A and B are shown apart, each in its own frame.
Chain A
């Protein structure tokens, strides 16, 4: 199990580094976060926290991560390599987890590069280590959730572009759309909408609040979408 997943993850990572899409997405992501940091955080008189940068990153990733995940399974379907993969002694679960980790590790690498802002911030102001750590923990959990959604979207179709759009749509609904809808409803609908709002849970972390409900939300949400991805992959065989 672990050996197969490791092999798949490793291959996925290698493919990411060979893919121009990954470089473009990484470059745009880093320019955008740098700009956010310079424009809104590293300003005289602002508080010495990365909260606004992390909050903006959270919705930026709604568009960025599906572009990294769109390839993972769609490309296997389109090129037919899924046939060699699924006739090798690997299970559907191993394939999905391997693909997930391949992109997730790449994302964690990207996230690590933003730590440079933490260094800059500590040089110019008094930072609160606890809040920073929770903020980054939030990013780590949020990323897992987004990547899981993206892998699921990629398991649905052989067209990478469709996978990207579906992934962005699902994430957009769970962030921006539910946020807007929550304003229109009241009562129990409102609390449902608030519960599925990903950014809502994320903002707990970026504010420096550790809530196990949010932790549970991200972990179960990630597992749920990975489960759906496995089912989608399995279902291709029955068509």
Chain B
């Protein structure tokens, strides 16, 4: 449904998006995750025909965003960052206007407005001027606008920013419901949000894609780097040796601490040797006061790669300067 190939966008000297490629199938719901300034909004703006790419290409349902822009615009429902709305109009007038410029006839328009009022809970303030609405209400009006023409593809830029926790949960549920009938691409800099709503995550930092996959896949990648912590009382050498010789243990590092050996154990990929460790300890008659798996969270992973990216960029800049 969405295909992006080698997309690059520069603003003067700044490379906001740098050779990004990905594709999204029909009915998929994909999260675009990255810290602020990573190039998420720019990528989405290219996809929605707001900005032309510097190089590379992007297409929606086979229509190129540059050469066949009107077809793309008809297919896409877009909620821009910060939900810009015409404050002087009333909600209903605004939606009516938006329906008109999307070429919806009167009858279709009326039923479409009725549909989005229900879908986005606009009933309470549909006849109020937009400038009187709270941030959360505005967000819902923006979403209603994006859904008005029942688009095949929904592109949402930070859809829950500025909402309160209840509204965030409601919006997430709404997006998940929508995903059944639409292809959804949403951006966020908040990880749990993407984790909670999306089937697939594309992590972007410094204008480049640094990782992508389902939350499970990403977790697995992280799990590869997870560690076991064990505290065992016994002769230091024997304890380390016994644990290291176990199946499923890759590496052991340890330090003594008043008779207790605190071990950091790196398991082999896909192995969980906790039970084996317990059995060994029991067989030898040693003491055990801690045994746990330290799972790296997606959060940590995210922080790690984005920090790495930022560091690389900084050193690149230093090189350029020197």
B is bound to A: yes
* Chain A residues with a Cβ under 8 A of chain B: 3-4, 7-8, 10-11, 14-15, 18-19, 79-91, 237-239
6 A-B pairs with least C-beta separation: A80-B84, A7-B100, A89-B73, A87-B48, A81-B84, A83-B80
Q: A7-B97, A7-B101, A237-B51 are in contact. Are A87 and B76 (CB under 8 A)?
A: yes
> B61-89 vs A: 1/0 string, CB under 8 Å?
00000000010011010101010111111
**Which of A4, A10, A82, A237 makes the CB contact (< 8 A) with B52?**
A237
- Contact of B50 with A by CB under 8 A: yes
**Which of A3, A10, A83, A87 makes the CB contact (< 8 A) with B103?**
A3
Distance A85 CA – B86 CA, assembled complex (angstroms): 10
Q: Kindly provide the distance from the CB of B145 to the nearest chain A CB, expressed in whole angstroms.
A: 7
Distance A57 CA – B320 CA, assembled complex (angstroms): 61
| Chain A residues closer than 8 Å to B70, beta-carbon distance | 89, 91
List, sorted by A's number, 11 A–B pairs whose CB atoms are closer than 8 Å: A7-B101, A10-B97, A11-B86, A11-B89, A81-B84, A83-B50, A84-B80, A87-B49, A87-B80, A88-B101, A239-B11
- Contact of B98 with A by CB under 8 A: yes
For the complex with contacts A15-B89, A79-B87, 10 further pairs of A-B residues with Cβ separation under 8 Å are: A3-B100, A3-B103, A7-B101, A80-B82, A81-B85, A83-B84, A84-B145, A87-B73, A87-B76, A89-B74
> B89-110 vs A: 1/0 string, CB under 8 Å?
1000100011011110000000
| Chain A residues closer than 8 Å to B89, beta-carbon distance | 11, 14-15
**Which of A81, A83, A89, A237 makes the CB contact (< 8 A) with B101?**
A89
On chain B, the number of residues with a Cβ less than 8 Å from chain A's Cβ atoms is 28
**Which of A11, A86, A90, A91 makes the CB contact (< 8 A) with B50?**
A86
Give the dominant DSSP class at A's interface.
Answer: helix
Distance A8 CA – B101 CA, assembled complex (angstroms): 8
Which residues 1-54 in B have Cβ within 8 Å of A in the complex? 11, 45, 48-52
CB atoms of B102 and A89 under 8 A apart: yes
Q: A89-B74, A237-B50 are in contact. Are A4 and B101 (CB under 8 A)?
A: yes
Q: Which residue of A lies closest to B54 (CB)?
A: A238
Distance A10 CA – B100 CA, assembled complex (angstroms): 11
Q: Kindly provide the distance from the CB of B182 to the nearest chain A CB, expressed in whole angstroms.
A: 16
| Chain A residues closer than 8 Å to B100, beta-carbon distance | 3-4, 7
CB atoms of A89 and B103 under 8 A apart: yes
Distance A237 CA – B49 CA, assembled complex (angstroms): 10
Q: Which residue of B lies closest to A8 (CB)?
A: B101
Q: Which residue of B lies closest to A83 (CB)?
A: B80
**Which of A80, A90, A237 makes the CB contact (< 8 A) with B80?**
A80
| Chain A residues closer than 8 Å to B78, beta-carbon distance | 84, 87
